[in-house]
Amino acid sequence: MNNSKIIVALDFESLKETEDFLKKVKGQNCRVKVGKELFTNEGPNVIKLIQQYGFEIFLDLKFHDIPNTVSRAIKASCNLGVWMVNVHASGGKQMLLAAREAVDSSSNKPILIAVTILTSYDNSSYQELGFKNNLLDQIACLTTLSENSGMDGIVCSANDICSIKPLVKEKFQFVTPGIRLANSNDDQKRVTTPEDAITQGSNYLVIGRPITSSEDPAALIEKINQKIN
């Protein structure tokens, strides 16, 4: 049984790049994430490829549309046999409920989580969107909405967990991107280290470039597992 908290983000363009990486980490205790770029380029074939290597998959397509469309997309995702799927919490209660019903009515029932505010935002860039709430207040609002709408958890920055954990039940799960092993200069604003994320209450850590660009990703995954377990 896979008990790793690591989800490796496969931010590749092609099946070949993906398979080259999977060969390097085959047998490692982790899960993997397929996002928009890889899935748009390769479609369900990449899901089948990853499953051949034995990894559980977080299908990270962040659905945000009218309830009926999201329901059908979630059902299609469930049929692929993935381990986790997500939607945008800002799609609203009816959309979230439709996603919940789609999972519950499927034979494969992946973990269903909602994205609050992307970790590429800080308070300044978020205010540019024109919302009345500040960043943390909006995250709290979307967290409560997500739990009340039957989500299993949310995607958020690990730095947000302390303020929102009291708002939800104990089994509610936190999936945290923006995990960095050292200081970095990229498009993520609200970042933290694996150890700090676990300390703050993260259930799963989404780690991309630090692992996928490593010369020895298998060794790095093992090292991170040892640190956070």
**Residues 6-31 pLDDT 10s:** 999 999 999 999 999 999 999 999 99
Report yes or no on 184 lying in a domain: yes
CATH code of the domain containing 201: 3.20.20.70
More confident residue, 186 or 105: 105
The vertex-60 CA angle with 26 and 15, nearest 5°, equals 45
Give me the percent of the chain exceeding a pLDDT of 90: 80
Which residues have a Cβ under 8 Å from the Cβ of 170 and sit 6 or more positions away? none
> How far, CA to CA in Å, does 158 sit from each of 42, 57, 155?
31, 21, 9
CB of 169 closer than 8 Å to CB of 146: no
Average pLDDT over every residue of 134-138: 88
Tell me the pLDDT band of 133, cut-offs 50, 70 and 90: confident
For 154, the 3-state DSSP assignment is strand
Q: With the C-alpha atoms ordered 137, 139, 174, 101, is the resulting torsion angle positive or negative? A: positive
DSSP code of residue 179: B
Out of 24, 62, 165, 189, which one is annotated catalytic?
Answer: 62
Residue 199 within a domain = yes
**Under 8 Å between Cβ of 174 and 161:** yes
Which residues, in sequence order, are bridge partners of residue 205? 6, 176
Q: 1 lies in a domain? A: no
106 vs 165: CA distance, rounded Å: 29
Structure token pair of residue 39: 């899935």
Residue with tokens 């050292």: 182
Residue 179 placed within a domain:
yes
More confident residue, 209 or 180: 209
Residue with the bigger pLDDT between 3 and 58: it is 58
Mean confidence (pLDDT) of the chain? 92
Residue 104 lies inside a defined structural domain of this protein: yes
Query: Domain containing 198: what range?
Result: 6-228
| Catalytic residue list contains 132 | no
Say if residues 62 and 96 touch (Cβ distance below 8 Å): no
Q: What are phi and psi of 160, to 5 degrees?
A: -90, -15
Residue 100 above 60 pLDDT? yes
Report the number of distinct structural domains present in the chain: 1
Which H or E run contains 18? helix 15-25
The count of other CB atoms within 10 Å of the CB of residue 55 is 23
In this model, does residue 225 exceed pLDDT 70?
yes
In a domain? residue 81: yes
Q: What is the pLDDT of residue 187?
A: 47
